[in-house]
Chains A and B, each alone.
Chain A
Amino acid sequence: MKPFTYERADSPAAAAAAAARNPGSRFIAGGTNLLDLMKLQIETPPHLVDVTGLKLDRIDKTDDGGLRIGALVRNTDLAADDRVRRDYGVLSRALLAGASGQLRNMATTAGNLLQRTRCPYFYDTNMPCNKRTPGSGCSAIGGYSRQLAVVGSSGSCIATHPSDMAVAMRALDAMVETVRSDGSTRTIPIADFHRLPGETPHIDTNLAPAELITAVTLPKPLGGKHIYKKVRDRASYAFALISVAAVIGKDGKGRVTIGGVAHKPWRVDAADAQLPQGAKATAQALFADAKPTKDNAYKIPLVERTLGVVLAQAGAKS
């Protein structure tokens, strides 16, 4: 971990301004991913802006009947919120499927969205990695790729996004609210928040430098069956091999987002449209452009089989 200076911010705009004053700085709240990466010198910010005092830890109703989740709401608290459990079960389930009790007590809503990949080559600074060191190459391609992306990847990067929460939020069409260093705010649809790797895998999201997430809003409750099914080797405390977040209506229509298969939560409009036709048709639409490796090709039939059981649980055609 390289030395850094540290300050506590007292308002979101002040935090963004502080970050802008110190190029390369990072916001810290839960710290569960950032500090790990800093210890390994994968992240080397010269300055940390502690945002835990910003009082962004409330969950409020929005005017249109949705929920506004403060950026600093801890994963445990979000999962346990009565309104989330009742109206957005897929989100609660996704959160509870992630990490451990200790980590969920630390990790925040914004930090969860900003998790970096768990690709083992990204984590090993001796290895070429375009995400960590642009232009150095991708060691995962042709390497150990069992956990890595099957779709939306590029010749530069086959990393996956590790979050469970973001997968559910993508299914819910959440919106990410931010503030920039000049005090201006904007709202980014979650679909546009995370990026595909392309030739710039080192850029995970469309946030500008020093832009701070202040909240995530959920639209008014969708109804339907909320299911989050995570598939992994060990029974808990493991990243997803694949996961399925689904909200399915009685008519079999709905939306589905897949985790563990791409650089971002993977949702395809054409696949949502196929849901009433069942798992096979949906999976075909999800993976029309898939480029699996020998070691991770299993993810495609696995998603199809998992979609089948999810649709069956929802009482829809599987």
Chain B
Amino acid sequence: MKFDTPATTNPIDQLKIVGKPVDRIDGPLKTTGTASYAYERHDVAANPAYGHILGSAIAKGRIASIDTREAIAAPGVLAVVTAQNAGALMKGDFNTAKLLAGPEVQHYHQAVALVVAETFEQARAAAGLIKVDYTRADGAYDLEKAKSSATKPKDMDGDAPDSKVGDFASAFAAAPVQIDATYHTPDVSHAMMEPHASIAAWKGDELSLWTSNQMIDWGRGDVAKTLGIPKDKVHLSSPYIGGGFGGKLFVRSDAILAALGARAAKRPVKVALQRALVANNTTHRPATIQRVRIGASRDGKITAIAHENWSGDLPGGGPDSSVQQTRMLYAAPNRMTATRLAVLDLPESNAMRAPGEATGHMALEVAMDEMAEKLGMDPVQFRILNDSQVVPDDNGKTDRPFSQRQLVECLRQGADTFGWTGRNAKPAQRREGDWLIGMGVASAYRGAPTQKSGARVRLDGSGMVTVETDMTDIGTGSYTIIAQTAAEMMGVPLDKVVVKLGDTAYPVSAGSGGQWGAASSTAGVYAACTKLREAVATKLGFSTADVTFADGKVSSAGRSVALGEAAGPGGLVAEDTMEFGDLSEKYQHSTFGAHFVEVAVDMHTCEVRLRRMLAVCAAGRILNPKSARSQVIGAMTMGAGAALMEELAVDNRFGFFVNHDLAGYEVPVHADIPHQDVVFLDETDPTVSPMKAKGVGELGICGVAAAVANAIYNATGVRVREYPITLDKLISQMPALV
């Protein structure tokens, strides 16, 4: 099915099941420990051997020699895989660095060997017996130092790295009120709870991988490419994924080394990354240095805005697209953005939840707060005043409309709900006991892309509807919204729908990434269900014009037949792929929101604690308010971590992330997070898909950290432009103790 004209009324608009806050259909499995994740698939591969990865001890250089003799001789060891015996390996299209080092080492903890043994304990111990002599080479690890050598990248997530409207330099110079500030965001880790894990088994030349991967078809292609085998000889299964956040978009060393280990040991092999490897062996969100300049008239109209970003990656990698939202959020006749990329020899930078916007808001939305203060304006009003209903900077063009844009409503409703008028505009004025209290706000912007997505729908003789698609559920609620979509389309209750996900045996979907999953994958299911409805009607000889599907029956012209009966004993199957036309070129598809945060800062210890958090989101039709709300509170929690504690500490001498475990790399715990409120504005967007929905899981993180930073400023009068905002950055500037 092709979606190239705005949707009119369709079966989804009945909203009998879609749009309802139903419990997740995978809930009973997940809460009882009976949903099996990659490493747990005792059902698929009998008698697996265990693989353990040895990571490189250096960041850059060469393996001068590697001696595996002791490891091979160790009890239980079946095989040791290194670059010397792995055979030729290509690099996957989505990888920047190779997944098995040797002889070249590209980053710290890059895999240098896999030990395969009868037991986990034996494999782990034997990995310690491998002797590696490295020749260390000089590397670049410090973004600040590498900044001056940064160059303009080929592109920025498919967009031009630079953009220009009007004459920024002149307009900024002429602006009576100016802000020119530079912000630093650190490298951060996805730190999903399930480390990357795979079980691999070969049957002849066919490879099966039970793995933890957000993008099944990308993964299939890159496994095939890396191993040099045909794509159709690779099978991936990933029905449950213990968190990804972008860290499992790509094939990682667990999958490739499990495959190589299984080939070497002639047995199924299971491999999970040990936690200490996750930070340096896999990908991370890169650090950024961002300069934001804003010029405004005294009445608060922005006349000039510029956002420049520097980030680093390994050779061949890409930049962080931090300037993205600055092209979209605020009106201004003169503007520029620029993206520069430095070569760093740290582990591979790549996508993490809302790549670009997550870091970009951390700079832009603090700059907006600084500007509002300089203007003597309320920061909510300042943002509202500079709203734009057309794309302010569409790579130089400025007249394309947003399909929907409720930023102003988000800000207004948020301010009302949060009690924003209770905020004292002057910082460091509100004190409760030992705590200084402050409020902060930030706008939220994230695109609402769609991607081609397919599904197959089966109807059996009992009236059960089974949906199959390689779409994944990484905690996002895909199982449930897909079931809701199929139930609505076929007119059956939710418990008559079975959803099967994450398998190369199923039609290729959009996958989970870029906030496109919900809108795209349900549109694919819509397409397949539309075809199934036609097949049912045709089989029954019903006119497709007046046919209805409701209450488990299909009806037309006074005749009504139970669905199962219509399908017959052989059942019916339909498969289709939703393809999206050029509506996203005619209209800018975006999601908007506003974050409000209240913090308390201990005036003695300078510890920051969150007291209240509110997000107001406008993100198209909300397919399931319960799971969508969870996406947003989860993103708010990750944003709180980015604001207050998360930082992969770089050792600039050795070139690695030092704090590579969950005690050293702190993410928020229960005690850090207060009750969170989320409001979804009423919105349906018929230009996006027949579902009229968009994504929300990435919007939720955009702006959170800035709202926290702004709240800390309001509480203390201390402006910190270097994240995370830890107490050591506040202590020297705190207001005097009274």
Interface-central residue, A143, A144, A234, A302, by most chain B CB under 10 Å: A234
A234/B669 contact (C-beta < 8 A), A241-B727, A305-B605, A309-B604 known: yes
Closest approach, in angstroms, between the C-beta of A43 and any C-beta of chain B? 12
What B residues does A27 contact at CB under 8 A?
none
- Whether the Cβ atoms of A123 and B661 lie closer than 8 Å is yes
- Whether the Cβ atoms of A124 and B128 lie closer than 8 Å is no
Contact of A234 (CB < 8 Å), options: B58, B276, B651, B668? B668
- Whether the Cβ atoms of B651 and A302 lie closer than 8 Å is no
- Whether the Cβ atoms of A236 and B671 lie closer than 8 Å is yes
Closest approach, in angstroms, between the C-beta of B248 and any C-beta of chain A? 24
What A residues does B58 contact at CB under 8 A?
126
What B residues does A143 contact at CB under 8 A?
651, 653-654, 658
- Considering the chains assembled together, what is the distance between the CA atoms of A255 and B663 in angstroms? 30
Contact of B649 (CB < 8 Å), options: A144, A305, A306? A144
Which residues B637-695 have CB closer than 8 A to chain A? 644-645, 649-651, 653-654, 658-661, 663-664, 666, 668-672
Chain B CB within 8 A of A64 CB: no
Chain B CB within 8 A of A259 CB: no
What A residues does B659 contact at CB under 8 A?
120, 144
What B residues does A126 contact at CB under 8 A?
57-58
- Whether the Cβ atoms of B121 and A1 lie closer than 8 Å is yes
For A, the interface residue count at a CB cutoff of 8 angstroms equals 36
Chain B CB within 8 A of A301 CB: yes
Chain B CB within 8 A of A39 CB: yes
- Considering the chains assembled together, what is the distance between the CA atoms of A146 and B731 in angstroms? 14
**Contact mask A53-88 → B, CB, 8 Å, 1/0?**
000000000000000000000000000000000000
Chain B CB within 8 A of A118 CB: yes
Counting chain B residues whose Cβ lies within 8 A of the other chain, the interface size class is 35 or more
Contact of A233 (CB < 8 Å), options: B121, B604, B645, B731? B645
What B residues does A250 contact at CB under 8 A?
none
Closest approach, in angstroms, between the C-beta of A129 and any C-beta of chain B? 12
Closest approach, in angstroms, between the C-beta of B726 and any C-beta of chain A? 6
- Considering the chains assembled together, what is the distance between the CA atoms of A1 and B658 in angstroms? 22
- Whether the Cβ atoms of A235 and B672 lie closer than 8 Å is yes
Number of A-B contacts (CB under 8 A): 99
Which residues A218-266 have CB closer than 8 A to chain B? 229, 231-239, 241
Name which residue of chain A comes closest to B108, CB basis.
Answer: A126
Chain B CB within 8 A of A2 CB: yes
Chain A CB within 8 A of B137 CB: no
- Whether the Cβ atoms of A306 and B125 lie closer than 8 Å is no
- Considering the chains assembled together, what is the distance between the CA atoms of A233 and B606 in angstroms? 10
What B residues does A234 contact at CB under 8 A?
644-645, 666, 668-669, 671-672
A120/B672 contact (C-beta < 8 A), A298-B727, A308-B604 known: no
What A residues does B666 contact at CB under 8 A?
233-234, 238
A235/B609 contact (C-beta < 8 A), A144-B658, A301-B732, A306-B604 known: yes
A118/B663 contact (C-beta < 8 A), A234-B669, A308-B737, A309-B604 known: yes
- Whether the Cβ atoms of B731 and A298 lie closer than 8 Å is yes
Contact of A302 (CB < 8 Å), options: B276, B645, B671, B731? B731
- Whether the Cβ atoms of A302 and B672 lie closer than 8 Å is no
- Whether the Cβ atoms of A232 and B607 lie closer than 8 Å is yes
Chain B CB within 8 A of A40 CB: yes
Contact of B124 (CB < 8 Å), options: A1, A238, A309? A1
- Considering the chains assembled together, what is the distance between the CA atoms of A41 and B128 in angstroms? 8
A121/B653 contact (C-beta < 8 A), A41-B128, A236-B669, A305-B737 known: no
- Considering the chains assembled together, what is the distance between the CA atoms of A234 and B276 in angstroms? 20
Contact of B605 (CB < 8 Å), options: A1, A118, A127, A306? A306
- Considering the chains assembled together, what is the distance between the CA atoms of A252 and B669 in angstroms? 36
Contact of B651 (CB < 8 Å), options: A2, A3, A144, A241? A144
Name which residue of chain B comes closest to A299, CB basis.
Answer: B728
What A residues does B551 contact at CB under 8 A?
none
Chain B CB within 8 A of A92 CB: no
Closest approach, in angstroms, between the C-beta of B378 and any C-beta of chain A? 30
- Whether the Cβ atoms of B728 and A146 lie closer than 8 Å is yes
Which residues B351-405 have CB closer than 8 A to chain A? none
- Whether the Cβ atoms of B128 and A2 lie closer than 8 Å is yes
- Considering the chains assembled together, what is the distance between the CA atoms of A301 and B654 in angstroms? 30
Chain A CB within 8 A of B434 CB: yes
- Whether the Cβ atoms of B607 and A301 lie closer than 8 Å is no
- Considering the chains assembled together, what is the distance between the CA atoms of A315 and B155 in angstroms? 62
A124/B660 contact (C-beta < 8 A), A142-B653, A144-B649, A234-B666 known: yes
Closest approach, in angstroms, between the C-beta of A10 and any C-beta of chain B? 27
A305/B731 contact (C-beta < 8 A), A1-B125, A232-B607 known: yes
- Whether the Cβ atoms of A120 and B604 lie closer than 8 Å is no
Interface-central residue, A142, A229, A235, by most chain B CB under 10 Å: A235
What A residues does B664 contact at CB under 8 A?
118, 120, 123
What B residues does A39 contact at CB under 8 A?
124
- Considering the chains assembled together, what is the distance between the CA atoms of A81 and B124 in angstroms? 40
What B residues does A229 contact at CB under 8 A?
605
Chain B CB within 8 A of A139 CB: yes
Closest approach, in angstroms, between the C-beta of A238 and any C-beta of chain B? 6
What A residues does B609 contact at CB under 8 A?
235
- Whether the Cβ atoms of A231 and B121 lie closer than 8 Å is no
- Whether the Cβ atoms of B728 and A298 lie closer than 8 Å is yes
Contact of A231 (CB < 8 Å), options: B605, B653, B669? B605
- Considering the chains assembled together, what is the distance between the CA atoms of A57 and B650 in angstroms? 43
- Whether the Cβ atoms of A239 and B727 lie closer than 8 Å is no
- Whether the Cβ atoms of B604 and A239 lie closer than 8 Å is no
Closest approach, in angstroms, between the C-beta of A145 and any C-beta of chain B? 10
What B residues does A1 contact at CB under 8 A?
121, 124-125
- Considering the chains assembled together, what is the distance between the CA atoms of A39 and B124 in angstroms? 8
- Considering the chains assembled together, what is the distance between the CA atoms of A124 and B731 in angstroms? 31
Which residues A268-318 have CB closer than 8 A to chain B? 298, 301-302, 305-306, 308-309
- Considering the chains assembled together, what is the distance between the CA atoms of A236 and B57 in angstroms? 32
Closest approach, in angstroms, between the C-beta of A38 and any C-beta of chain B? 10
What A residues does B660 contact at CB under 8 A?
120, 124
- Considering the chains assembled together, what is the distance between the CA atoms of A301 and B727 in angstroms? 11
What A residues does B649 contact at CB under 8 A?
120, 144, 146
**Contact mask A1-35 → B, CB, 8 Å, 1/0?**
11100000000000000000000000000000000
What B residues does A142 contact at CB under 8 A?
653
Which residues A112-126 have CB closer than 8 A to chain B? 118, 120-121, 123-124, 126
A233/B727 contact (C-beta < 8 A), A126-B57, A301-B732, A308-B737 known: yes
Closest approach, in angstroms, between the C-beta of B733 and any C-beta of chain A? 11
- Considering the chains assembled together, what is the distance between the CA atoms of A2 and B604 in angstroms? 46
What B residues does A118 contact at CB under 8 A?
663-664
Name which residue of chain A comes closest to B664, CB basis.
Answer: A120
Q: List 11 A-B contacts (CB under 8 A).
A: A1-B124, A3-B75, A39-B124, A40-B276, A120-B664, A231-B605, A231-B607, A237-B671, A241-B727, A301-B732, A305-B731
Please name 17 further chain A to chain B contacts, defined as beta carbons within 8 Å, in addition to the given A120-B660, A139-B654, sorted by A numbering.
Answer: A1-B121, A39-B124, A120-B658, A120-B664, A126-B58, A142-B653, A143-B653, A146-B728, A231-B605, A233-B645, A233-B724, A234-B671, A235-B607, A238-B663, A298-B732, A302-B727, A309-B434
- Closest CB pairs A-B (n = 4): A126-B57, A235-B671, A298-B728, A236-B671
Interface residues in chain A, defined as those with a beta carbon under 8 Å from any beta carbon in chain B = 1-3, 39-41, 118, 120-121, 123-124, 126-127, 139, 142-144, 146, 229, 231-239, 241, 298, 301-302, 305-306, 308-309
